Amino acid sequence: NLYYTEPCAALAQMLCERTGMKKVFFGNSGAEANECAIKAARKYASRKKGADTFTIVTLKNSFHGRTLTTLAATGQEHYHELFQPLTPGFAHVGAGDMAELEALAEKTKIAAVMIECIQGEGGVIPLDRAYVRALADFAAAKDILLIVDEVQTGNGRTGALYAYMNYGIQPDIVTTAKGLGGGLPIGAALLGEKVQDVFQPGDHGSTFGGNPVCCAGAISVLSRIDEALLASVREKSAYVRDTLSGAPGVEFVRGMGLMLGVKTQKPAAQVIARLREKGVLCLTAKDCVRLLPALNIPSDLLQSAVRAIRDVCAE
């Protein structure tokens, strides 16, 4: 907090050059990155529109973290149970429902809208492209900040560096973590032109945020996410989709890149238990089997895993 290090500065420059954002605040996790984004949005709105403009709108079925504030941002009631009272000042609208957002804006002073382009914990559900563009246009017209949570979708996961790049929009704030560190703890809030100078000394801080070890790791990761790797992610995604779509016991496959949800006729929990017996580790996301393989997974290993999924679904 008192000085910069070379890895921290170099990583911030890499992120800004590849996204068009202006500044970066580093933390240690995705939840911290989202907390930073929320604070930045509220300070921006307070200065521009007054202290009564503080509401952060997120989407129903969203997930933004497990701190009290990011739980409040999360649009799934079952995550809220037993943790009341949560941080006030959040509202949730239906994904794809512009009318609901517009109606809310008529009666509520909104500081920002925060979205995931693919609702990961919500079932690996990509948002509709036309809706995302309409939302971005609406927010820009109202000077409502657009925050895109790329904690799970970012760093090449969807076949683009960040998922919002698949939608043709430019957010005001982007948050990222998880894959950015390649196993090391790092989170980042990327701030666009409107909010690049919103924080002043003392407004926000992180003891270990931007530490040289984690930043060096993230530099190594980002340097490997080039167009060749992204093309490989898209090719592997097409293979998984083509192989599993229409297979016995599979209802559908959805998602982008190597962030895929497989809706199976059997309960997803039963499928992943059988896959574990076969040496394939998967997670559930609502009623889907969630596939999040390493972006550089060898083709033969991916084929072996997909065969196991087909076999289990057909049992």
Q: Report pLDDT digits (tens) over 93-128.
A: 999 999 999 999 999 999 999 999 999 999 999 999
Please give the pLDDT value at position 2: 77
pLDDT at 206: 94
The structure tokens listed for 257 are 């890149």
Query: Mean pLDDT in the chain?
Result: 97
Domain ranges of the chain: 6-224, 227-314
CA 146 to CA 4: how far, in whole Å?
28
pLDDT tens across 264-288, in order? Answer: 999 999 999 999 999 999 999 999 9
Report pLDDT for 3.
83
pTM (global) more than 0.75: yes
- Once rounded to an integer, what is the mean pLDDT over residues 255-261? 98
pLDDT at 252 over 90: yes
Report whether CATH 3.40.640.10 matches the domain 6-224. yes
State what percent of residues in the chain have pLDDT above 70: 100
- Helix axis angle, 227-244 relative to 299-314, nearest 10°? 20
What superfamily does domain 227-314 belong to in CATH? Aspartate Aminotransferase, domain 1 (3.90.1150.10)
Q: Measured between alpha carbons, how far is 262 from 89 in angstroms, rounded to an integer?
A: 35
Say yes or no to pLDDT of 181 above 80: yes
Give, as one character, the DSSP assignment of residue 125.
E
27-53 pLDDT per residue, tens: 999 999 999 999 999 999 999 999 999
Report how far residue 175's alpha carbon sits from residue 115's, in angstroms, rounded to the nearest whole number: 11
Output phi, psi for 16, to 5 deg.
-65, -40
Distance, in Å, from the CA atom of 9 to the CA atom of 43, rounded to the nearest integer, reads 24
Position 1 confidence tier, pLDDT thresholds 50, 70, 90: low
- The predicted pLDDT at position 42 comes to 98
**Is residue 207 a contact partner of residue 23, using CB atoms and an 8 Å limit?**
no
User: Which pLDDT band holds residue 208 (cuts at 50, 70, 90)?
Assistant: very high
130 Cβ contact list (under 8 Å, min separation 6): none
